[in-house]
Structure 1
């Protein structure tokens, strides 16, 4: 006999106070006393978030009578046993004021939440189907609100939700429940179809987005990715949940949707020509999260095949799942025709700059960076550039290097594309219910199997070592020259600075730099160089006429103490990389980058028919 579904309800009970009321009802509970837990983190963001800290009231009841609820730890509660046929309900009041893609945020203009931050998990019943009643806030002023989510309507049930309406939705189990973020409000809605799959774009926040341009560009990106892995797509429909703000950037992937934050100026506007950098960056973000539909939501590290939502889930493979995705996000823009090769080369050069400028690449391996994400990557401090390498940025460069190695070593017969498709076939598409995960050596073994190349030394250096990648050498056969030069003629002192009004504060002092040798530290407030006041507008002028090896006197406040330092200036740092085409008709490069013959093709009549918009905005 199938168990009765777990029933949830959620409503913004007091939007002005940023409160949500969430209920979880079990028809049958553990006779020894049902336990409930709220996840400590959300998959895709590898830091303990302790969502339970936002619960401001919680109680349990059955048949209108209170049931004792005992707190076991910071996010787990146990209810006293109830009768065998008595339904048990736990009611939470949650403070929702986390304006991020990870948590919950509610006010009188909208409500957004991820399941991990609001839905209790009945322990031992994670595989029981769920029914979710999404409820409108109380009051007539919210009558225009509607719903955007990839959750499926609970068809066949009484009060089943119609498209974008409040009502009853369903999830196959708890894992599916928490993998569908939900937006409520008066968002703008646009639709398009990619490879037969309906897609929606819901934009919250004030904006002047050209929805036809946005959906046209997203359609070509989504179609390229679906065809890259092979039709049919693994999801029946997909939703881009976008919050437009004054200044924001970030995203979080889900199995059939993504939550995105962007600056409203990042969105395309009517009459916009070409593809400005801020819009390219936003499309790259959309492409990144969409690629995760395959690479991490369905192709998973072995450690993620069954999430432990109570504690850290360690893996050494984030360099492949985030780094490879970071490689393909902008490559997809190039291959689908959204950007030109000149734009893409600049993006790759900027990624090389990012990795090469930080000494942390010489201390931490990519495998270590992946493992340490829980304690280091998501908790940056003033010494992070000296101690940590980004598994996003360097992971993308390793993907580039591996792709070039495979293509050059097999005369273009095998590439990283083949590795990704094989991973999809073995660990995603045909995996046994998603329970087969990628092991630490599987990517190398697949690459060797497909190419016939010996790649142990490559992975030992690139993933488990700290040596710099030989990108200049790898790019040469593809008709691309990597050039490195100094971005400034100013002698170096080896610091990062931040402006505080007319003051300059050191935010990072690089390891082995002239500043570190002289005793300067992060947090020091620069006062003067050779007796002249340091301000944001004068710092470069005070140093640019100096020569490498020359010593300057620096005064700085550390806390409230004035300190003096003698800094011997270093040579200008060669930290700017440029990629140049040396062979316009290189066959290896043409097969690699797959540039369409026509770029930025206007939306055709057929494309317009597959794109519709809803002009409501707030």
Structure 2
């Protein structure tokens, strides 16, 4: 019998429980000794067995898994699982480390009504006291299967967890609504899933459908790994569009708030066909048998962009197709998530290739997983025609300026930001420029990969490029989607295979740099034929990309002004920071006139000769104060300027490949 973690409850009275209390040498009083797991009293009904570690053995039998997602008005997902069992201890796990989250984010707080029955009798479960994602069940003799039922109480708004159900659509992530047996690899547990949808709905998913009748879709059996990696988008307004120029293996599965929001034009479909073609030319092989883009055009479903091996979850504005090109971020979402099928899913950092979804993930190589995906996502956005080259160059200017003005590098290297999700999943703080965070292993790493690309191009007289790394490192095995783990040395070796160089030092210098002399990695811009400059007047095309230009005073006064005139994004060490302005202040007046962003821009511009200092009246709660800035640098918006007489490698990188 396994050793119990249960100890009979005892009353710890001074002098009656051996070792429970000890004399404190510094205070002369009795101080409690920290209990050990062996002497901790637990008021529980029975012993808690250890959680079994995953083994290579396959779980015997198939788990029948029925999801009822038809209650969209009350936003409740109901689950029934029929699990083959044998008598004895069984531990069921709720997935904790979710794909693409890089952190323990499984929302077990939303699981309710957990009930277990076997042979028609109720079986009481016991939650693990150390790991609350584990449920312990004692299966009685003679019971060969148990039925587990519960509800996932999805949320009505996006304040804590994102909205996944609306009256018009559903974003079902299976891992949010299942339990699985501990002690096995996720690839060794077989599920047979089905889902009930509202009447008249259709759906997109990378699973294989056995039947779809009466709103119930039955899918072919799959292992747990594949199930969790295959989310579903369903909706009352649904359209499936083939975008594979070479067959019928890639689709857009579009759901919308309204029927007129799911109709891409032939030109738009052509861009997505180009995306598939350009990705084929970049990577040389497809790591999937088919690929399903799941796209929600919506203002009600929670925002998402999440990669999977044979699909991706993408939410875009409700006018995405009817007001094309309004947001570069939305346009670039699908290319980014598509790149992840090569970088992050098939070719994956070894420390994220865990046995199951309750083994902790490590994130040491997110600057490859996310950073190089950010780079290739932008490159393919341009190469496919989804966005003009000039738009990507403008966005690179924003990235370069942000990191050229980031004080947080003084104490925190880029490598450490890979841990940011583990410290608190994408939490915000009032001084992001000092804290650094999630965006850095995306966007600063993008600059590192541009640096590497241009170095290879220059050193090889344009014969080689980072494209060759992409094909060599991520390509091969066409049609296979078995994950392949890699470590830092593998990245270095693949770069050396393209162009011999001290890549280990190149990367570690940029990843580990911290201190007052640490600089943003902007060498790739110069090698591309550009320099970072600032302008006080943006073109209309630049305003479309730098959407915050009306309220962005980051590189002048050191803050951003919200639509309600609230000061936010205070840059550490900037003018506002040095004027003792902290979070929560609202600008009431500018030079004795009612405040708004237009007036603040005018005031900053008017003081370029130093003759008209900028006076702000601020309010926070019941407190008022007046602050005067003598800043005379004018408005400062980033721009990449061509270096005369140099090769325009950036345009070459962003231009479509012909083969």
| TM-score over 0.5 (shorter chain) | yes
Structure 2 SS opposite 1:266: coil
Q: How does 1:243-262 map to 2 (within 5 A)?
A: 243-246=296-299, 250-262=304-316
1:345–1:579 Cα contact (<8 Å) kept: no
TM-score between both structures, scaled by the size of structure 2: 0.78
- Larger RCO: 1 or 2 (CA < 8 Å, sep 6+): 1
Give 1:404 shift: 0.5
2:49 pairs with 1:49 = no
Deviations 1:430-460 (A, max 9, x none): 99953x5222343234323431112344223
Q: Name 2:389's counterpart in structure 1.
A: 341
Counterpart residue number, 1:605: none
The Cα shift of 1:60 comes to 0.4
**From 391, 394, 398, the counterpart of 2:444:** 394
**Structure 1 position 510 matched with structure 2 position 566:** no
- Describe the shift of the 1:241–1:352 C-alpha distance in structure 2 as closer, same or farther (beyond 3 A): same
Counterpart in 2 of 1:96?
A: 154
**1:92-120 Cα deviation digits (max 9, x unpaired):** 11112377899772344333211221121
Q: Secondary structure at the match of 1:200?
A: strand
Counterpart CA distance in 2 for 1:588 and 1:488 is: 26
Contact in 1 for aligned 2:271/2:384 (Cα 8 Å): no
Paired residue for 2:287?
Answer: 234
From the superposition, tell whether residues 348 and 590 of structure 1 become closer, same or farther in structure 2 (CA, over 3 Å).
closer
Q: CA deviation at 1:388?
A: 0.5
RMSD between aligned alpha carbons? 3.4
Would the aligned equivalents of 1:370 and 1:391 in 2 still touch at CA under 8 Å?
yes
Unaligned runs of 5+ in 1: 154-159, 270-274, 599-618
Q: How many residues align?
A: 572
Give the corresponding residue for 1:577: 639
Q: 1:82 to 1:57 in 2, by over 3 A?
A: same
Kept in 1, the 8 Å contact 2:561–2:567? The answer is yes
Instruction: Give the structure 1 partner of residue 354 of structure 2.
Output: 306
Matched, 1:267 2:317: no
The equivalences for 1:348-387 within 5 A come to 348-375=396-423, 378-387=426-435
Question: 1:20: Cα distance to partner?
Answer: 1.2
| Post-superposition offset of 1:319 | 1.4
Q: Which has the larger radius of gyration?
A: 2
- Label 1:3 to 1:298 Cα distance change in 2 as closer, same or farther (>3 A): same
From 237, 240, 249, the counterpart of 1:189? 240
The change in CA–CA distance for 1:328 and 1:547 in structure 2 (over 3 A counts) is same
Aligned to 2:534: 485
Tell me what 1:78 maps to. 136
Q: Does structure 1 conserve the Cα–Cα contact (< 8 Å) formed by 2:103 and 2:361?
A: no
* Post-superposition CA distance 1:380-415 (Å, at most 9, x none): 121112220521111111111111111112222332
What secondary structure, in the 3-state scheme, does the structure 2 residue paired with 1:58 have?
A: strand
Structure 1: distance between partners of 2:153 and 2:173? 13
2-side partners of 1:483 and 1:412: how far apart?
23
Unaligned ranges ≥5, structure 2: 1-57, 539-552
Matches within 5 A, 1:180-579: 180-186=230-236, 187-205=238-256, 206=258, 207-208=260-261, 209-231=263-285, 233-246=286-299, 250-268=304-322, 276-278=325-327, 281-306=329-354, 309-310=357-358, 313-375=361-423, 378-388=426-436, 390-424=440-474, 434=483, 436-466=484-514, 467-469=518-520, 471=522, 474-476=524-526, 478=528, 480-487=529-536, 492-500=556-564, 504-529=565-590, 531-547=592-608, 554-569=616-631, 571-572=633-634, 574-579=636-641
Aligned to 2:178: 119
Q: How far did residue 285 of structure 1 move?
A: 0.9
TM-score, normalising length: structure 1: 0.83
Q: 1:239 to 1:103 in 2, by over 3 A?
A: farther
> 1:109/1:239 Cα in 2 relative to 1: closer, same or farther (>3 Å)?
same
